Structure 1
């Protein structure tokens, strides 16, 4: 299997009024093509910060060192303009709370179509067709009606399916899934995990699955890295 992502000695520190906080303190990780790596640990150990560092979405009070090699190119050396072409295209992120990813003032169709037009230069008509197909793939009932709905009209599980459809819209190489089932009940959790497994096989996607839940990690992952206080301990 070809290596997709390699993280070398990644350090992320935050400047606060109380001084410097070491959120990520010198970690190494590798993910191969088509593989799922579980990053597990208690809340506040640096898991989400690691995901945000890969996407270069850290707040302004952060300092970052090390290397994040994606297809042998260091993401940390890329400009914001270059990262805009990678985010949502080659690398997507599914956040813990689907409301983080969805604009409450825009219907679902517009939000998926916008991604396709920006990254894939599709016409509006083709983008709407593809958006319908994506909602079918993630198991949304009545996808054409869903495109016209706004986020508040959907349940938590349905919103997370929409977010997964958006994450997959451009056929990314890597999906960072940050606690993707925390906001839904146990029945929906099983459905979302099964959906992610199926889509991974179908599109040969690599997944970095961030979770505090060892059960979810054990079910989904080829490899596991345990994080504690900013370090990989196992």
Structure 2
């Protein structure tokens, strides 16, 4: 793998426009569960059964209990070496975009600023009726109410069955179309539309790189597939990377 790693480092050094896609696996070493492994449950509920508009409509107190638990569990989590390496990559590359499927906010805490949170953030809350929305890191009551209209607030995340935030997909596609290097980092490559991003990058001539603990369905289609911990590989890639 050493030879491939050095080749990827050379490709990154020469990149004029880099796009990185990250998935849940990048936060595992920060203590954040992926919800796809054997620990991916909460009180015997599947996240897919709670992170839904119809679940919130039927049992908002249960859904908020789940999300408050997620928020509280994240208070002990810190960005790991992979998050920090991507923040450093942003500082060294003029044309750079980080697209994340994660809602944990760890990329922002690591210092990433050129970032698109495709699925929103656990730290964003918004009203179910009016336009009130805010970032809030404080502990929330079991059923938080909007300070403007008094209606129930909801987590500022994209639930299963909901469309992405308006404009997000268009911007992501436009940036990937213009990239010359595309990195898929610690993502299962199962969820659409992100699962198709690597093909979009290849179709527009970008060099594609996968960094993941183990092979995924797209490994064989990437130009480079580096298998191991992102917290080990990304700092190695950044070592000596020219700006």
Same fold (TM over 0.5): no
Please indicate the TM-score interval, normalised by the length of the shorter structure.
0.3 to 0.5
TM-score norm. by structure 1 comes to 0.36
Higher relative contact order (CA 8 A, sep 6+): 1
The structure with the largest strand share of the pair is 1
